[in-house]
Amino acid sequence: MRFVTYGSDDGDRAGVLNGELVHALPPGTTLLRLLGPELRQAGERALAEPDEVVALADVRLKAPIPRPPSIRDCLCFLDHMRGCLKATGASGVLEPTWYQIPAFYFANPATVVGPHDDVPISPGSAWFDFELEIGAVIGAAGRDLTPEQAVEHIAGYTLMCDWSARDLQGLESQLKIGQAKGKDGATTLGPWLVTPDELPFGPDGRLALHVRAEVNGALVGQGNTDAMDWSFGEVVSYASRGVELQPGDVFGSGTVPGCCLIEHLDFGDLAAFQGWLKDGDVVRLSAEGLGEVRQTVRASAAPHPLAPRADPAAVVRPPRRNPARSAAPYTRGLHQVGAGVWAWLLPDGGYGRSNAGLVAGDGASLLVDTLYDLPLTAEMLSGMRPITDPHPLSHAVLTHANGDHTHGGQLLPGSVRVVAAEGTAHEMRTEMAPELTTALQVMDLGPVLTPYLRDRFGGFDFGGIRLREPDHTFDRQLTLDVGGREVRLLNLGPAHTEADTVVHVPDAGVLFAGDLLFVGCTPIVWSGPIANWIAACDTMIGLDAPTVVPGHGPVTDPAGIRAVRDYLAHVVEQADAALAKGLDLREAMFAVDLAEYAGWLDAERVVVNVYQRYREIHPGQPEIDRFALFALMAEWQATRS
């Protein structure tokens, strides 16, 4: 039999499914109360003499047991755990304990949702995931059960989804006391509770169902439940040791391997990952004999912040301060830097603390770059409204593909024409999903790299970002008309990235240099060649713009461009000298003399710059991935602090 709970004007009703019709039990009857020997008899009475008959299509299904006494989520499929370990960079080899006892944790019965209910993203999470599971519902109380007895205590099975905030889960796992906010956001049960006699079992007694998981109609994973390493009988038996199980207690099977997002994450190929769940995504889970659940993911309000406690073991570092001279007040917010031209500044110019710009013409305006996350971009767009209300945004130029200049694009009005170099558009299409940057905030990457990354990236919110790709691309140069004003775009890359665009406003004498210019903070050569960046500096100087807005740091003039040019030349000189001495790459990185550039913020970026120079000289130099480069920067910084 298939039992359901549905909403009605008189409250929740229970019933038995007969084809596409629900045969209702008497008002006030709940499945929880009927579990046990009475369940089948009550179902037969409802089929023969229903209190009412309603079409399945006309009712709103609830979870069959809307508030279970308890939910134990087990891990019956060890391949799921192996996949999770591999996804986070581990070997996938399980500790021996996994083979000795079945694992489970207690989920939150108060957050059970029905099979078609919207599911809120856990507040503060950028890595929201689903897990397709099978739930076994206990029908009779029992204690100290054998695996054989435990199976007899199961009243039926239902589809189950364990909604998981992977970033919160990863952070909380470092406390080593179990699951918390990463797992208690929601648990789906439904659409119905199916008695065991209607389901197929394998010769070893394991439930044998084919399951399938989709997001927005695209297959994520599928599998079979008889691949369980630990059977339901075994996990229920284990849980009953010294404990009285109650009718309605739910046991989740754990994720059928492949039927979640995290197992498809590969830090070696982040561009291939389809991304975590976002507002509006539709998740469809189905299982042979158990039906399907179809739910829409919805955004949640931001969590109320909590101030961290003081760490008595932490090394107290002096406040970061950008040492560069500023041609305009270097404070957060909007500053006019020319006639009808403004810069939005975000001190101190370190990672993610980037600048943007605004050029206003007659009844139109152009935005230069967005910011690293949605809250920062929303603050900026609000701060620009005194200009953009009378001169609405018509264009937005993305100077390059890095997230601190592109992540806020979805907040732009649909009428805005987003423009970028073709190389920028290509990188945006092939780089990792924006929310994966959360890894820099939550992953435990060791005693040196973890605090370094959290210090540099901890203040941003990468949740809910959907990259807005350019509407129009160009190759080397493009001239735009913005309310009667000429704005010139020049792609001077590759240098910092695959393509690096500067925005020149000739009639105002202002140049927005993007990340071809860091002022008071250290440039980083993600792409190169360095010679091309030096040539780009010469081109920018040749534009003879008296006011220059860098991608990071305070407003400057051509002297600021010359300083970056000289820094890059110094790196080349240092790297070439190290190579001539026979130093290997690591030795060259750690022996570099930064001279007058040692006081620039984030001086450890010289590690990446030396690496790029060595690769230019010897193209066969082994490639180092971004995480490994960050580890080297963290180590370099630790040796100099």
Give per-residue pLDDT as tens, 117-157. Answer: 999 999 999 999 999 999 999 999 999 999 999 999 999 99
pLDDT in tens, 32-43: 999 998 999 999
Cα(257)–Cα(624) distance, rounded to whole angstroms? 31
Cα(79)–Cα(147) distance, rounded to whole angstroms? 22
Token readout for 552 is: 């990071």
Q: What is the dihedral of CA 81, 84, 90, 92, to 10 degrees?
A: 40
Do you know the residue count of the chain? 641
Look at residue 237 in the predicted model and tell me its pLDDT.
Answer: 98
Tell me the HSE value of 179 on the side-chain side, using a 13 A CA sphere.
18
Cα(74)–Cα(352) distance, rounded to whole angstroms? 40
Token readout for 364 is: 């139109």
pLDDT in tens, 506-546: 999 999 999 999 999 999 999 999 999 999 999 999 999 99
Global confidence as pTM:
0.91
How many helices and strands (H and E) does the chain possess? 16, 30
Look at phi and psi of residue 178 and say left if phi exceeds 0, alpha if psi is from -120 to 50, else beta: left
Across 76-90, 214-228, 259-273, which has the greatest mean pLDDT? 214-228
- Supply the DSSP string of 38-80, one letter for each residue: HHHHHHHHHHHS-S-EEEGGGSEEE-SSSS-S-EEEE---HHH
Which residues lie closer than 8 Å to 200 by C-beta, 6 or more apart?
Answer: 207, 208, 209, 288, 289
Radius of gyration of the chain, Cα coordinates, nearest whole angstrom: 30
Residue 633 to residues 71, 399, 440, 498, 592: CA-CA distances in angstroms? 45, 25, 14, 22, 13
Give the confidence band of 28 by pLDDT, cuts at 50, 70, 90.
Answer: very high
pLDDT at position 483 over 80 = yes
Token readout for 75 is: 């891990």
Percent of the chain surpassing pLDDT 90:
90
363 in Cβ contact with 396 (< 8 Å): no
Look at phi and psi of residue 640 and say left if phi exceeds 0, alpha if psi is from -120 to 50, else beta: alpha
- Supply the DSSP string of 78-97, one letter for each residue: HHHHHHHHHHTTS--PPPGG
Cα(533)–Cα(515) distance, rounded to whole angstroms? 10
Give the confidence band of 315 by pLDDT, cuts at 50, 70, 90.
Answer: confident
Give the confidence band of 327 by pLDDT, cuts at 50, 70, 90.
Answer: confident
Cα(193)–Cα(170) distance, rounded to whole angstroms? 32
Count of other CB atoms within 10 angstroms of residue 430: 12
What's the distance, CA 61 to chain centroid? 31
Pairing of strands 365-368, 356-360: antiparallel
Cα(45)–Cα(607) distance, rounded to whole angstroms? 76
Cα(610)–Cα(241) distance, rounded to whole angstroms? 60
Cα(234)–Cα(248) distance, rounded to whole angstroms? 18
The better pLDDT of the pair 365, 443 is held by: 365
Residue 626 to residues 85, 93, 632, 638: CA-CA distances in angstroms? 20, 25, 10, 18
End-to-end CA distance of the chain: 69
Phi, psi of 478 (to 5 degrees): -155, 140
Residue 545 to residues 364, 411, 505, 600: CA-CA distances in angstroms? 23, 31, 9, 24
Tell me the HSE value of 181 on the side-chain side, using a 13 A CA sphere.
12
What's the distance, CA 478 to chain centroid? 34
Look at residue 574 in the predicted model and tell me its pLDDT.
Answer: 97
The type of residue at 426 is H
Coil, helix or strand for 584?
Answer: coil
Q: Which of 557, 481, 497 is nearest to 489 (CA)?
A: 481
Count of other CB atoms within 10 angstroms of residue 460: 24
Percent of the chain surpassing pLDDT 70:
100
506 in Cβ contact with 546 (< 8 Å): no
466 beta partners: none
Q: Which of 138, 135, 141, 84 is nearest to 112 (CA)?
A: 135
Tell me the HSE value of 473 on the side-chain side, using a 13 A CA sphere.
15
The type of residue at 13 is R
**Worst-scoring range by mean pLDDT, 266-280, 541-555, 623-637?**
266-280
Look at residue 587 in the predicted model and tell me its pLDDT.
Answer: 96
Q: Evaluate the omega torsion of the peptide bond into residue 554 and state whether it is cis, within 30 degrees of 0.
A: no
What's the distance, CA 136 to chain centroid? 31
pLDDT in tens, 557-591: 999 999 999 999 999 999 999 999 999 999 999 99
